[in-house]
Amino acid sequence: MHSADYLELDGGLAFVETWPGRRETVLCIHTAGQSGVQYRRVASGLAELGFGVVVPDLPGHGRSEPARGGPISDLSWYSNWCMRLMSELNLERPYLLGCSIGGSIALDIATRISDELSGVIALDPSGVLGSDGSSPRPPVLEDSGSPSMRDRTYFGTIEACGRSVPAERAELIAQMHCREDWHITVSDVHGALTHDIRAALPDITCPVRILTGEDDYFVPPSRVRRIADLVPHAAFELLPGIGHYPMEEIPDFAARFDGWVKDFAGVAS
């Protein structure tokens, strides 16, 4: 039975949705500035396939209360928070599924507790290689001469969807994304631009699959390929016609996830 409730964690209330299952639990981690609503269709599909599912809103996102110190610009902070959530919910050897900063957070967690995970599916991870050059400027919000933040979100999301995505679906994704709080988003993005875990990636021992949309507007596939190459045993997959949000763009995403983790079992055997 699906449940949605608030959980006291780190002195604040976190909104968490859960589905019980007979198979391993999948912890789903959303993208920068967004919330667990990005998994609204995928979660029920995974549950129908027998997986347990946990979908949290990170602090300051969606229906979760903000972090005590304000917006977070350190993805490792989110990783620690997710690990505390896993402990609070007594998750045993979950799969981690994350997109964009969510994929980066999943990989970060795997560098620390690989032996406690069944595997990682990282979609378009955006915060792994650090600034890869000069340090980014501190995050700032719009000035009076710039387009509205809502317009940036709307048109940016439309552009970030892959060419195989029907216009009606891309429109829905963009409309849902417009609910974000840009004070949170700019801090998340700064975290992605400065998060560097390259040295730790070879320490990951659990199964890993890293995927990228061929049409990703935000994270070039070549950059994601570089990340995959740093995890010695990671499988890499390019998704034709897909952009930055595979779990929202691909209609049969839950079935594909099932196939990916079955591949994990084949490798392990």
Q: What is the 3-state secondary structure (H, E, C) of the chain?
A: CCEEEEEEECCEEEEEEEECCCCCEEEEECCCCCCHHHHHHHHHHHHHCCCEEEEECCCCCCCCCCCCCCCCCCHHHHHHHHHHHHHHCCCCCCEEEEECHHHHHHHHHHHHHHHHCCEEEEECCCCCECCCCCCCCCCCCCCCCCCCHHHHHHHHHHHHCCCCCCHHHHHHHHHHHCCCCHHHHHHHHHHHHHCECHHHHHHCCCCEEEEEECCCCCCCHHHHHHHHHCCCCCEEEEECCCCCCHHHHCCCHHHHHHHHHHHHHHHHC
Cα–chain center distance at 216: 15
Choice among 21-35, 127-141, 232-246 with the minimum mean pLDDT? 127-141
Q: What pLDDT, in 10s, does the model give residues 60-101? A: 999 999 999 899 999 999 999 999 999 999 999 999 999 999
- pLDDT score for 144: 45
Mean pLDDT of the region 244-251: 98
Q: What pLDDT, in 10s, does the model give residues 6-48? A: 999 999 999 999 999 999 999 999 999 999 999 999 999 999 9
Alpha-carbon distance values, 135 to 130, 138, 191, 195 (Å): 9, 9, 12, 11
Task: Evaluate whether the domain defined by 3-268 bears CATH number 3.40.50.1820.
Answer: yes
| Residues pairing with 53 in the sheet | 19, 26
Q: 54 phi and psi, to 5 degrees?
A: -130, 125
| Residues pairing with 13 in the sheet | 8
**12-19 vs 3-9, strand pairing mode:** antiparallel
- pLDDT score for 148: 75
Q: Which two tokens stand for residue 119?
A: 């595997």
Cα–chain center distance at 116: 19
Does residue 140 register a pLDDT over 80?
no
Does residue 131 register a pLDDT over 90?
no
For tokens 């350190």, the residue is: 74
Does residue 267 register a pLDDT over 60?
no
Does residue 143 register a pLDDT over 80?
no
Choice among 34-38, 118-122, 216-220, 227-231 with the minimum mean pLDDT? 216-220
Q: What pLDDT, in 10s, does the model give residues 176-188? A: 999 888 889 999 9
What span, in angstroms and rounded, lies between the C-alpha atoms of 84 and 54?
13
Name the percent of the chain lying above pLDDT 70. Answer: 93
**pLDDT grade for 221, boundaries at 50, 70 and 90:** very high
What span, in angstroms and rounded, lies between the C-alpha atoms of 265 and 263?
5
- pLDDT score for 145: 46
Residues 131 and 191 sit within 8 Å (Cβ to Cβ): no
In the sheet with 52-56, reading across from the earlier edge strand, the strands are 3-9, 12-19, 52-56, 25-29, 95-99, 119-123, 208-213, 235-239
Give pTM, 2 decimals: 0.92
- Kindly list the domain boundaries of the chain, sorted by start residue: 3-268
What span, in angstroms and rounded, lies between the C-alpha atoms of 106 and 26?
11
Mean pLDDT of the region 206-235: 95
Choice among 19-28, 117-126, 156-165, 182-191 with the minimum mean pLDDT? 182-191
